[in-house]
Chain A
Amino acid sequence: MSTTESPHAEKKPGQNTGLMDGFRRIIQERHDYAREWKDRTGGRVFGGMCTYVPEEIIYAAGILPVRVLGSHEPQDVSERHIYAMFCPFCRDVLAQGLLGRYDYLEGLIMSHTCMHLRQSFDSWVTHVGIDYFYYLFMPQLIRHRKARGYLTTEFTRFKENLEGWIGKKISNEEIDRAIEVHNTNRRLLRQIYELRKSPNPPISGAECMELVVSSQLCDKAEHNGMLERLLKELPARQDLPPAGTRLMVIGGECDDQEAVRLVEASGANVVADDLCCGSRYFWNEVIPGEDRMSALAQGYLNKPPCPLKDVTHERIRFKYVLDMAREFNVQGVLQVMQKFCDPHEFDIPAMERFLKDNGIPSYSIELDVTMPVGQLQTRTEAFLEMLELEI
C-alpha cells in the first residue's frame, strides 16, 4: 500500500476531537510547562536521564522530575564532547543541555543503564553545569538475590543525599503519596494500553506514545487527571484510528512519535510496544511496603528490562515481548533502534530468531536523530506487504 492511498495518512486520529491536544501540548511545550510549573509552585525541577531514575523519591521531595530527551533536530554542539560512534540519542540529549534548553533544571539524575548516556551525563555536568547531580547504579542482574538489597541501599543513599541538599527530611508520608501518584499513573496508562487489545483500538500507537512521553514531562498528579478524562472519552470516540496490520514496536530510546505515526500511516496499527518511552516506563506498579526504599527498589527491578538489564540465559526481556505480542494479538514486530545503540544491537538478531521460532515475523529499522522519512516509509511498507502475504 502506498502512503497516499492509506486512509491513515488522510485521517489523523485525535486531532479532530482535540482528545490528545493537552498531551501533545506538554510534549511540544515541555520547557514552557516546566518553567510555568516552577512559577506556579515555587518548586524545583530535576532532569532524569533514564527510565530507571526513581522519580518517586524526587517527587516526594517536592521536586518535579522530567525526562531529558532530545529534540530530533540536527545539531553541531555535541561533537567535541561525544564521539560520533555514540548513539544519536545521547548526543541529542547532551546538545539540549549545551544549547541551554534545560537551563531551568536545578538537578540532573542518572541511573546507570548504558555507557553512552554515562558520557552525556559527564559532559553535561562538566560543561553545562548544574547545581545538583547524582549518579545511581541500577543493577543489570535484576533477578539476583542480592539486587534488591543493593538497589535499596542505592535509593537510600540518594534519598539521604537529596535530603542534605534540600535541607529537610523526606517523610514516609511523602514517599507514600509519591508512590501512589506514580502507581495511579501506571494503572491508568495500562488501562489505556488494555484498550488496544480490541480489534479496533480506540487509540493509535503514536497517540499512546504521546501519553507515555507526556507523562514523563509533567506533574503526574495533573497527568492522572488528564488520563482519567481521556479514559472516559475514549469509548465514545468517533474518529477511530483505521484498522490496519497489528504491529508491536520494540527497541530503545525511541520517543519519536513521528516515526510511529509514519509507520501507522503506512497501513499499520501499532497496538503494543516494548520501548523506553512506552510500556517499559510504566508497566509494573510499585508494591508498597513498610521499607519504602526496598519497595521502590523491587518496583524498579520489576520493570520490563532493557537489553542491558537482561544479561543471563533467562532472557527475561524476550519472554516479556513474546507475552505482550500474544496478549495484544500482534501480526508482526518492528524492532527500532538508534544507530550505534550497542545494547539493542546485541538483542536484535537473537530477538529476531526468538520471535521467528515463536511464529512472529519481525523486521529491524535504524533511527537517527532526524528521521529518514522516505527510508522508514519504504521499509515499513515492505514489511507490511510481507506480513499481508504471510497472512
Chain B
Amino acid sequence: MSPEKILYKTKPLENWAWGKELRTKHYKSIMTAKDDGKTLTSGSAHARILAAGLPNYVHLSGEPFGATIATMPELAQECAEAAEAQGFSRDMCAYMRLYWGASFLNKSPWGKFPKPDLGVQSAICDSHAKWHQMMTEYMGIPFFVVEVPQYYPALAPPHPSMIEYTAEQFMDMPPWMEGVTGQKWDDEKFITALLRLNRIHVLWAEICTLNQNVPAPLDLKSMYSLYWPAAGGDINEDTEAFYRALKDEVQHRVDEGIAALATERCRLMHENQPPWYALYIFRYMEGFGAVTNCGGYVFALGGAFDLVDDEQGNPHLITETPVEQLEPRPKNREESMYLMAKLHFGRYRFVTSPDAKRKIAVAMADDWKCNGAIIMLNRGCEGLSVGQTEARLALIDAGVPTMVYEANMADKREWDDREVRDRLDSYMESLGLKKLED
C-alpha cells in the first residue's frame, strides 16, 4: 500500500470522447441499417467477426446491448418484466433477458428494437446458443450457430481435433450467409477483419498491462467503457486507430506518472461484470484511496491474453503476439476459418474454465500489484460465474484479502445498496483504509 501522503498527478483521458463517439456511431448505424442497405446481424459480441465477409453489415452485439439497457434502470425493469411475462426465469442470463424483453416490447434505448436480419452465434457459454435459438425463432429469422468445445483442464492448448471441428463448422458459414442474404462472401475482407480484430485485442491487452504500473494510469470504471469497441464494436480502421492512440496516451501517462486516482493508496481487482446501474461503487471506493485497476471481465473479453507459468510455477497473464507476426496471412477461406477457430480458443477458452480462472485471478492480483480483490457473485451471468467461488478460495490461499458481494449485473431489482456499502466499509477497514478528506 502506498504511503498516505502521496498525491499523484491526474488528468482526464484525451481519447475518452473518441471512444464514446465510436459507440454512438455504432448504434446509429444499427438503427439506420435498413435504410443504409446494411445487413443487420445479431449474436454475442464475440460472434460479430463471423459475418465479416459480408460486403456491408453491422452487428447488434447481445451482451453490450443488454448492458446498455442495464444502465437505464426503468427500461431495464420493463424489459426484464416483459421476458418474465413470457415465462422466462429471473435467474437466467440478465443481458439476454433484457435483449429479449426489448424485442418483445419493440423498444431500445434509441427508439424501436432494431430487428436483425439474421442470427449468428458461436457458443462458448451455455446460454449463447439457446439465447439466439429462441430469439431467431421468435423473430422468424435465420440462425447460424457454431459450437466451441469446452475442455478440462483448460490451461493446456486445445486438441487439434477441437480446432478442426470448430473450423469445419465455420466453413459452412460463408455459403450459408450467401444463401440467406443473397450477397457474395468476400474472403479477403474477412481475413483483413480477422487480423485487425486480433491486433485490436492485442492493443487492448497491452493497454490493460500498462495498468500494472503504480500509480495505475486507468481505473476500471473507465475501462468498462474503453474496452467496449474491442469487445463489441465495429471492426474497422477507426477502432484500431482509437486503440493505437489510447495505448500511446496511456503509455504517456505511465511515463509522466499520471494517475487515474490522485490519491491511490490501495489497488484492487474487481472480478466479474460490474453492476452497470451502480458504477458509483467504484467512485465510493476511490473515496478510501482504493483504485480498481484490473478485472478478468474487461481483460478477457477485449484483450488477447495468455496464461503462462514461470519457472517457479507462478502463473502470469501475458499479452499475445499479433498472429500475423507468427504465421503467414491466410491464403484462402479454409485457412481463414482455421485461424478464426484457433483465435476463438485462444481468446475464449478461459471464460467458462474454473481451473484457469483460479489461476488468472491469482496471476492478476500478483502482476497488477493488487492489495486485495473484490468478487461480484453475479446472479445474472452463469457463464462468468463459473469458477468465481473457487477463485475466491485461491486468492485467499495466495494471501490476497478478498471480499465478495452478491448482485446482478443488469437487474437492479437484486441490488442492495446498503448491504454492498456496508461490506465495502468493513472491507476497507480491514485493509487499513479510512475515508479520505475531500
A residues whose Cβ falls under 8 Å from a Cβ of B: 80-83, 85-86, 110, 112, 114-116, 118-119, 121-123, 126, 135, 137, 139-141, 144, 146, 149-150, 153-154, 157, 307-308, 311-313, 340, 342-343, 345-346, 348-350, 352
Contact A83/B385 with A141-B147, A311-B145 known, Cβ cut-off 8 Å: yes
Q: A141 contacts B169, CB within 8 Å?
A: yes
Q: B386 contacts A118, CB within 8 Å?
A: yes
Q: A350 contacts B91, CB within 8 Å?
A: no
Among B88, B93, B133, B136, contact of A349 (Cβ-Cβ < 8 Å): B88
Contact A342/B382 with A85-B91, A146-B169, A311-B130 known, Cβ cut-off 8 Å: yes
Instruction: Please name the residue on chain A nearest to B145 by beta carbon.
Output: A311
Q: A122 contacts B355, CB within 8 Å?
A: yes
Name the distance in Å between B386's Cβ and chain A's nearest Cβ: 5
Q: B389 contacts A81, CB within 8 Å?
A: yes
Q: B92 contacts A345, CB within 8 Å?
A: yes
Q: A81 contacts B390, CB within 8 Å?
A: yes
Among A112, A115, A135, A153, contact of B161 (Cβ-Cβ < 8 Å): A153
Q: What mask results when residues 371 to 402 of chain B are scored 1 for a CB within 8 Å of chain A, else 0?
A: 00000010100110111111001000000000
Instruction: Please name the residue on chain A nearest to B388 by beta carbon.
Output: A83
Contact A343/B126 with A123-B354, A349-B88 known, Cβ cut-off 8 Å: yes
Residues of B within 8 A of A343 (CB): 126, 130
Q: A345 contacts B129, CB within 8 Å?
A: no
Residues of A within 8 A of B393 (CB): 80-81
Q: How far is the CA of A24 from the CA of B93 in the complex (A)?
A: 39
Q: What mask results when residues 146 to 157 of chain B are scored 1 for a CB within 8 Å of chain A, else 0?
A: 010111100000
Q: A350 contacts B134, CB within 8 Å?
A: yes
With A122-B354, A345-B91 already in contact, 9 other A-B pairs whose C-beta atoms are closer than 8 Å = A83-B388, A85-B379, A112-B149, A119-B387, A119-B390, A122-B355, A150-B161, A307-B130, A345-B88
Q: B92 contacts A118, CB within 8 Å?
A: no
Residues of B within 8 A of A146 (CB): 165, 168-169
Q: How far is the CA of A118 from the CA of B91 in the complex (A)?
A: 18
Residues of B within 8 A of A115 (CB): 125-126, 352, 382-383, 386
Q: How far is the CA of A260 from the CA of B130 in the complex (A)?
A: 28
Instruction: Please name the residue on chain B nearest to A134 by beta carbon.
Output: B152
Q: How many residues of B contact A (CB 8 A)?
A: 45
B86 within 8 A of A: yes
Residues of B within 8 A of A126 (CB): 355, 390
Among B87, B129, B355, B377, contact of A140 (Cβ-Cβ < 8 Å): B129
Can you sample 30 A-B contacts with CB below 8 Å?
A112-B149, A115-B352, A118-B150, A118-B152, A119-B354, A123-B390, A137-B151, A137-B162, A139-B147, A139-B149, A141-B147, A141-B169, A146-B168, A149-B165, A153-B161, A157-B161, A311-B123, A311-B130, A311-B133, A313-B133, A313-B136, A313-B137, A313-B143, A342-B91, A342-B127, A345-B89, A346-B127, A346-B133, A346-B134, A349-B88
A-B contact count (CB 8 A): 120
Instruction: Please name the residue on chain B nearest to A138 by beta carbon.
Output: B149
Among A122, A139, A307, A349, contact of B86 (Cβ-Cβ < 8 Å): A349
Q: A122 contacts B382, CB within 8 Å?
A: no
Q: How far is the CA of A349 from the CA of B89 in the complex (A)?
A: 10
B159 within 8 A of A: yes
Q: How far is the CA of A40 from the CA of B385 in the complex (A)?
A: 43
Contact A86/B382 with A115-B126, A119-B387 known, Cβ cut-off 8 Å: yes
Q: Which 7 residue pairs are nearest across A and B when measured between Cβ atoms?
A: A349-B87, A135-B152, A311-B129, A122-B354, A137-B149, A346-B130, A150-B165
Name the distance in Å between B405's Cβ and chain A's nearest Cβ: 12
Q: A140 contacts B382, CB within 8 Å?
A: no
Q: A137 contacts B150, CB within 8 Å?
A: yes
Q: A340 contacts B91, CB within 8 Å?
A: yes
Q: How far is the CA of A116 from the CA of B126 in the complex (A)?
A: 10
Q: How far is the CA of A80 from the CA of B390 in the complex (A)?
A: 8
Residues of B within 8 A of A140 (CB): 123, 129, 147
Q: A118 contacts B143, CB within 8 Å?
A: no
Q: B382 contacts A85, CB within 8 Å?
A: yes
Residues of A within 8 A of B168 (CB): 146
Instruction: Please name the residue on chain A nearest to B167 by beta carbon.
Output: A146
Name the distance in Å between A368's Cβ and chain B's nearest Cβ: 13
Q: A312 contacts B91, CB within 8 Å?
A: no
Residues of B within 8 A of A141 (CB): 145, 147, 169
Q: B137 contacts A122, CB within 8 Å?
A: no
Q: A144 contacts B169, CB within 8 Å?
A: yes
Q: What mask results when residues 167 to 187 of chain B are scored 1 for a CB within 8 Å of chain A, else 0?
A: 011000000000000000000
Q: How far is the CA of A82 from the CA of B149 in the complex (A)?
A: 22
Contact A350/B137 with A343-B126, A345-B88 known, Cβ cut-off 8 Å: yes
Contact A308/B126 with A139-B147, A348-B87 known, Cβ cut-off 8 Å: yes
Residues of B within 8 A of A116 (CB): 382
Instruction: Please name the residue on chain B nearest to A345 by beta carbon.
Output: B89
Among A119, A153, A308, contact of B130 (Cβ-Cβ < 8 Å): A308
Residue of A81, A112, A342 ringed by the most chain B CB atoms within 10 A: A342
Residues of B within 8 A of A135 (CB): 151-152
Q: How far is the CA of A177 from the CA of B136 in the complex (A)?
A: 45
Name the distance in Å between B86's Cβ and chain A's nearest Cβ: 6
Q: A82 contacts B389, CB within 8 Å?
A: yes
Q: A112 contacts B386, CB within 8 Å?
A: no
Q: How far is the CA of A3 from the CA of B294 in the complex (A)?
A: 58
Contacts of B109-128 to chain A: CB distance below 8 A:
123, 125-127
Q: How far is the CA of A345 from the CA of B129 in the complex (A)?
A: 14
Name the distance in Å between B389's Cβ and chain A's nearest Cβ: 5
Residues of A within 8 A of B89 (CB): 340, 345
Name the distance in Å between B192's Cβ and chain A's nearest Cβ: 27
Instruction: Please name the residue on chain B nearest to A349 by beta carbon.
Output: B87
Residues of B within 8 A of A350 (CB): 134, 137
Instruction: Please name the residue on chain B nearest to A337 by beta carbon.
Output: B89
Name the distance in Å between B171's Cβ and chain A's nearest Cβ: 9
Residues of B within 8 A of A123 (CB): 354, 390
Name the distance in Å between B430's Cβ and chain A's nearest Cβ: 19
Q: How far is the CA of A85 from the CA of B382 in the complex (A)?
A: 8
Name the distance in Å between A170's Cβ and chain B's nearest Cβ: 20
Residues of A within 8 A of B92 (CB): 342, 345-346
Residues of A within 8 A of B136 (CB): 313
Q: B159 contacts A157, CB within 8 Å?
A: yes
Instruction: Please name the residue on chain A nearest to B83 by beta carbon.
Output: A349
Q: How far is the CA of A156 from the CA of B191 in the complex (A)?
A: 34
Q: How far is the CA of A312 from the CA of B88 in the complex (A)?
A: 19
Q: How far is the CA of A115 from the CA of B137 in the complex (A)?
A: 24
Residues of B within 8 A of A342 (CB): 91-93, 126-127, 130, 382
Contacts of B294-322 to chain A: CB distance below 8 A:
none
Residues of A within 8 A of B145 (CB): 141, 311-312
Q: How far is the CA of A144 from the CA of B145 in the complex (A)?
A: 11
